[in-house]
Amino acid sequence: MKPKTENQDRALSNYSFGSAPIYFKIELNFTIYKVGSIQMRKKITFPKPIIVASIFSLLLIIYISSARPVSADDTNGFQLSIRENGKVHLPDVDFQRDWTALGTWAIAADEGTVGAEGFHTVYTQPKSVTAFRKTGEFPDGTILIKELYEAITNEMTTGTVSRASKITGWFVMVKDLNNRYPDNQSWGDGWAWAQFDSSDRKNSISTNYKDDCLSCHEPVKNSDWVYVEGYPILRND
Ligand code: HEC
């Protein structure tokens, strides 16, 4: 017989499996201290419920802490765009690639200049489009992002054509059916409202939606403050 190594001596594991129900027991023998040739040993036996609970907890911790990629569509809109006290920020997702472009508004250049001065492209989560087509309403957590572009106009083989160039900022609305932050002046009338300069996606430059947003959205009050006529994709036909 080979002598036990010190490691084996410190922690001996003893597994035994019986017939059903499965019996599973772990015994650990610890050497607590050693004086001369006398060893004090402690034997700990873990009963089955504790082993099962430990394994379950371990699996749960692994599951919860495993870095799941943020899916642009499955994640709740509030997690994506709202921080403490209702502070709105631009969602940390590639909305240009992963979300639905609802439509683009072309802002005509001043008189005497041809083409467009800028474009406003509006994005939302694909699942909000699906829900809107069914119900005619934006579901809780819907994020609308209006992205502002400067335009460049050129003569092309198709004629005089304007295209989007530099991004200059964003307007964001987050649908809130539960009046979540009644004391925050960026929240109200069923939405969180915020405007961002292109240099800062986290801190809005708007402070009070009643002053900064509402009067301009008054014409579309009856369609939940949204210019839905610009978004043919929301129609059911
Ligand atoms: C000068 C008027 C004006 C102001 C101020 C304004 N909006 Fe708008 N907004 C519009 C118009 C008009 C549209 C649609 C056409 C366009 O973009 O030119 C629009 C579109 C939007 C859209 C796209 C969804 C939609 O309603 O069609 C969002 C999001 C938006 N605005 C958010 C905001 C927020 C947030 C504020 C305040 C911080 C704000 N807007 C202030 C006039 C305004």
What is the DSSP secondary-structure string of 5-43? PHHHHH--------SSSPP--EEEEEEEEEETTEEEEEE
CA of 121 to the centre of ligand 1 (A): 11
- Which ligand 1 atom sits closest to the C-alpha of 219? 12
Note whether 126 and 99 are within 8 A (CB). yes
Q: Output the pLDDT for position 35.
A: 61
How far apart are the C-alpha atoms of 234 and 169, rounded to whole Å? 24
Task: Give the mean model confidence (pLDDT) for residues 125-153.
Answer: 97
- Higher-confidence residue of 205 and 13: namely 205
Domain boundaries, given as residue ranges, for the chain:
7-65, 77-234
Higher local confidence (pLDDT), 156 or 13: 156
| 120 close to ligand 1 (CB < 6 Angstrom) | yes
Lowest-pLDDT range, 29-38, 78-87, 109-118, 122-131?
29-38
Tens digits of per-residue pLDDT, 40-98? 666 767 778 888 888 888 888 777 666 554 444 556 899 999 999 999 999 999 999 99
Question: Which residue lies with its CA nearest to atom 43 of ligand 1?
Answer: 216
CA-proximal residue: ligand 1, atom 6 (nearest): 213
Entry field: residues in the chain: 237
Q: What pLDDT sits at residue 70?
A: 47
Beta strands of the chain (E only): which ranges?
26-35, 38-46, 100-108, 116-124, 143-156, 159-175, 187-188, 191-197
C-alpha 213 – ligand 1 centre gap (Å):
7
SS3 173: strand
Q: Whose CA is nearest to atom 9 of ligand 1?
A: 217
Which residue's CA lies nearest to atom 18 of ligand 1? 105
pLDDT digits (tens, 9 = 90+) for 166-198: 999 999 999 999 999 999 999 999 999 999 999
Q: Is the CB of 105 under 6 A from ligand 1?
A: yes
pLDDT digits (tens, 9 = 90+) for 2-39: 454 444 444 444 444 444 444 555 566 655 566 666 66
76 vs 206: which has the higher pLDDT? 206
Mutate to test the pocket of ligand 1, among 95, 132, 146, 204 (most ligand atoms within 8 A of CB): 146
| Burial annotation 191-209 (CB, 10 A radius, 16+ → b, else e) | bbbbbbeeeeeeebebeeb
Looking at residue 57, its pLDDT comes to 86
Residue 193 CA: nearest ligand 1 atom is 35
Do residues 26 and 11 lie in contact, with contact meaning Cβ atoms separated by under 8 Å? Answer: no
Mean predicted confidence (pLDDT) in 162-167:
98
User: Within a 10 A sphere around the Cβ of 185, how many other Cβ atoms?
Assistant: 15
What is the percent of the chain where pLDDT is above 90? 66
Is the domain 77-234 a CATH 3.50.70.20 member?
yes
Residue to mutate (ligand 1; options 123, 173, 217; most atoms within 8 A of CB): 217
What's the confidence (pLDDT) of residue 62?
74
Atom 21 (ligand 1) nearest CA? 146
User: At 118, is the secondary structure helix, strand, or coil?
Assistant: strand
* C-beta separation of 28 from 43 below 8 A: yes
Q: Of all helices (H) and strands (E), which one includes residue 50? A: helix 48-65
CA distance 167 to 95: 14
